[in-house]
Amino acid sequence: MTQEMTAAVLYGREDVRIERLPVPTAGPSEIVVRVHAALTCGTDLKVYRRGYHAKMLTPPIPFGHELAGIVAEVGDGVTRFRTGDRVVALNSAPCDHCFFCLRHQQNLCEDLLFNNGAYAEYIRIPARIVEKNTLLIPEGVPFEHAALAEPLACVIRGLEESAPRLADRMVVIGAGPIGLMFMHAAELAGVHVTAIVKRAAQIEAARTFGAKEVIDISAVEDPIAAARAVTPDGRGFDIAIEAVATPATWQWAVDLVRKGGTVNFFGGPPSGTKVELDTNQLHYNDITLKASFHHTPATVRTAFDLICSGRFKCREYITGRAPLSSVPEVFHNFLHRVSTQAANDIKTAIIP
């Protein structure tokens, strides 16, 4: 008789359903993980709002991608893990053979293998992810903290690509989960951080995660002028991180950096979105424009080491907990901000 489990399945725009599915089994070189914590994510919220993700999934499909748990089954050929091990399994792994992988751009792998289905009692981890992006969790590190490895790995790559120097001034536009993670990672790297937030409720969180100054756009007439005013001589920031994913905030990022500054367009707007930029401004101010996508095995390990070190404020980052049955309600509340709690939540740990 086939064993069944409870899982959240994405069917389309704002359509997540709790269903009974067969418990997966481990094929050769695969493992099955019993999920002990799966975290809500800004990317999952974006997918929930749009109903798809061009790179990662096509509905109907099991939902969620940030998880940690205990190995429940190992397939033939698995030697690094055994039943009972505490592990964090990332949501993708590169091939390490294609044009991009051989140029140390594994995040752009031509055959990047994604895995979804974290909001479930069990999840199968494909062989390539088992080999390249599954890590043992040290005793004493909670599952929900370990599950932060995936988003933090993306942020670490974005920060490395932006090449901050000690005491540089960085502005982060957006105080969602990724924006706050950028603030904290930058602070730990010795960067002076200013945050631009949308709501007064986000001010405290931005300060908690390292922002020295916080600009609330609802309280100022000109957010760009207000932010530049906190920099020496009003010259602007060394680095601007865009973590909202709208054309307007992409333009803000360019307007916020100093001459010779760097902009990282980290937030990904919907396919087909166009942005107009002042070419004169870019050229004569010698501005560097970058965009960062996803993570690499190297940044995964850097992020995980930071989590295990205790330096990263994991406990403060997990602001809610909910059972698996509540996934549709949790995402509805996040999207529509229908409660005070949803308005202030950063990440919710789904506990199967």
- Mind listing the pLDDT tens digit for each residue in 165-179? 999 999 999 999 999
- As given in the structure block, the two tokens for residue 293 are 């996508």
Q: What is the pLDDT of residues 203-241, one digit of tens each?
A: 999 999 999 999 999 999 999 999 999 999 999 999 999
Confidence at residue 309, expressed as pLDDT on a 0 to 100 scale: 97
The order of strands in the sheet holding 169-173 is 211-216, 192-197, 169-173, 237-242, 257-265, 288-290
**Confidence band for 46, pLDDT divided at 50, 70 and 90:** confident
As a whole number, mean pLDDT of residues 123-142 equals 98
- CA distance to 97, 193, 201, 291, per residue, from 169 (Å): 38, 6, 24, 19
Q: By the 8 A CB rule, do 63 and 114 touch?
A: no
Q: Is residue 130 part of a domain?
A: yes
Q: Within this chain, do residues 176 and 223 fall inside the same structural domain, yes or no?
A: yes
> For position 203, which CATH number holds?
3.40.50.720
Residue 103 covered by a domain: yes
Does residue 21 have a pLDDT over 90?
yes
177 with 267, same domain: the answer is yes
Answer yes or no: is pLDDT of 347 > 60: yes
| 295, part of any domain | no
Is 203 found in the same domain as 269? yes
36 plus 105 within the same structural domain: yes
243 and 276 assigned to the same domain = yes
3-state secondary structure the chain: CCCEEEEEEEEECCEEEEEEEECCCCCCCCEEEEEEEEECCHHHHHHHHHCCECCCECCCEECCCCEEEEEEEECCCCCCCCCCCEEEECCEECCCCCCCHHHCCHHHCCCCEECCCCCECEEEECHHHHHHCEEECCCCCCHHHHCCHHHHHHHHHHHHHHCCCCCCEEEEECCCHHHHHHHHHHHHCCCEEEEEECCHHHHHHHHHCCEEEEEEHHHCCCHHHHHHCCCHHHCCEEEEEECCCCHHHHHHHHHHEEEEEEEEECCCCCCCCCCCCCHHHHHHCCCEEECCCCCCHHHHHHHHHHHHHCCCCHHHHEEEEEEHHHHHHHHHHHHHCCCHHHHHCCEEEEEC
Residue 304 forms part of a structural domain:
no
Q: Are residues 216 and 260 in the same domain?
A: yes
Pair (269, 204) in one structural domain = yes
Average pLDDT over residues 14-35: 97
pLDDT in tens, 76-115: 999 999 999 999 999 999 999 999 999 999 999 999 999 9
Considering the domain boundaries, does residue 301 fall inside one? no
Looking at the structure of the chain, the number of domains it has is 2
221 part of a folded domain: yes
Domain membership of residue 241 (yes or no) is yes
Instruction: CATH number of the domain at 321, please.
Output: 3.90.180.10
Residues 197 and 223 in one domain: yes
Q: How confident is the model at residue 188 (pLDDT cuts 50, 70, 90)?
A: very high
Q: How confident is the model at residue 53 (pLDDT cuts 50, 70, 90)?
A: confident
Domain end position, chosen among 256, 290, 324: 290
Task: State which residues form the domain around 50.
Answer: 4-148+312-351
Judge contact between 290 and 263, C-beta under 8 A.
Answer: yes
Please check whether residues 194 and 260 belong to one and the same domain: yes
User: Same domain for 189 and 223?
Assistant: yes
Instruction: Decide if 131 is inside a domain.
Output: yes
Exposure string of 299-310, with b = 16+ CB inside 10 Å and e = fewer, is: bbebbbebbbee
- 80: closest CA among 36, 132, 124? 132
Q: Are 199 and 216 in contact (CB under 8 A)?
A: yes
State residue 282's pLDDT score.
98
For the chain, the average pLDDT equals 95
Rounded Cα–Cα distance for residues 127 and 75 (Å): 9
- The reply to whether 8 and 138 lie within a common domain is yes
Do 133 and 235 fall within a single domain? no
